[in-house]
Amino acid sequence: MFLTDAHTHSHHSHDGCEPVAALCESACDRRLSALCLTDHYDAEGRFSPKAYRAEIEQTRAAFAGRLELLCGVELGEGHLTPERSAALLAAAPFDLVLGSCHHLEGQPDFYWLRYTSRAHCRQLIGDYLDELVRMISWGGFDVLAHLTYPLRYMADRDGFDVDFMCHEDKVRAVFRALARSRRGLELNVSGLRRGSFAMPDVPLLRLYRACGGEFITVGSDAHHAREVGVSVAEGVELLRAAGFSRMAVYRKRQVHWVST
């Protein structure tokens, strides 16, 4: 089986701490075929495209024959700073650009919010889905990362019994916008290694497929070398359960298919 982790972070992210080589060693230990670095580029970042690319190229040479190392980026809220985002994408030839939305315009990250009721959560979920449609319309990315990110804090941390199907019409709008634009969806398995849920879960994966969604990747969202590749094989099993017979690997921002 071709296993690839398409969402990982090194010390080039503001919340990462380890060199690229450490992540690659872990990927080899877990028998991954490919690893994509997707360090953060957002308002808080210390990201230098030149330094990032140089370390990846140096490490790629050191792991030649053992691991395919791909150069990606997680572009946070790129639609809110389009000129800054365009400058980044012009500065480095990425293999994969993840599009993520960690906060609504003018608000803090969902991590920092404190949720007061199910109604409060549902309102924010609706606003978040509207923001995703805006981001997809902007379009400067390949794959939408961790669709149900707010649930990490609303449901998993703060215990509110909510899910995205409280706004099924808006979820469908997101999925149809992805399908029309031929952009992909990430299955983020970071929650699985903590005994929680994947982002998104199987019912939403099935709905994405029913809405015409085709392109899908699997990522651990690792911020430490020890997390690289964890639960990726389990994620592939979830894709099969949702009806996907193949998943996407992005090279030079072009889709290449591998069987699940």
Given a contact cutoff of 8 angstroms between Cβ atoms, the answer to whether 159 and 192 are in contact is no
Predicted confidence (pLDDT) at residue 162 exceeds the cutoff of 80 = yes
- Under the banding of pLDDT at 50, 70 and 90, the label for residue 1 is confident
Quote the CA–CA distance of 84 and 128 in Å, as a whole number: 22
Q: Which amino acid type is present at position 170?
A: K
Name the band, by pLDDT with cuts 50, 70 and 90, for residue 45: low
Q: What are phi and psi of 145, to 5 degrees?
A: -85, 150
Domain ranges of the chain: 4-259
Q: What is the pTM of this model?
A: 0.97
Per DSSP, what are the bridge partners of residue 36? 70
| For range 157-161, the mean pLDDT | 96
Which tens digits make up the pLDDT trace of 78-124?
999 999 999 999 988 999 999 999 999 999 999 999 999 999 999 99
* Greater model confidence, 47 or 83: 83
Express each pLDDT in 206-251 by its tens digit: 999 999 999 999 999 999 999 999 999 999 999 999 999 999 999 9
Please provide the DSSP assignment of the chain as one string. ---EEEEE--TTSTT--S-HHHHHHHHHHTT-SEEEEEEEESTT----HHHHHHHHHHHHHHTTTT-EEEEEEEEETGGGSHHHHHHHHHHS--SEEEEE--S-TTS--TTT-----HHHHHHHHHHHHHHHHHHHHH---SEE--TTTTHIIIIIIT-----GGGGHHHHHHHHHHHHHHT-EEEEE-TTGGGTS--BS-HHHHHHHHHTT---EEEE--BSSGGGTTTTHHHHHHHHHHTT-SEEEEEETTEEEEEE-
Judging by DSSP bridges, how do beta strands 68-76 and 143-144 pair with one another? unpaired
Q: Do residues 48 and 105 lie in contact, with contact meaning Cβ atoms separated by under 8 Å? A: no
Q: Which CATH architecture has domain 4-259?
A: Alpha-Beta Barrel (3.20)
Residue that is written with structure tokens 């149900």 in the block: 148
pLDDT at residue 171, rounded to an integer: 98
Cβ atoms of residues 24 and 63 within 8 Å: yes
Does residue 44 register a pLDDT over 70?
Answer: no
Contact 3, 28 (CB under 8 A): no
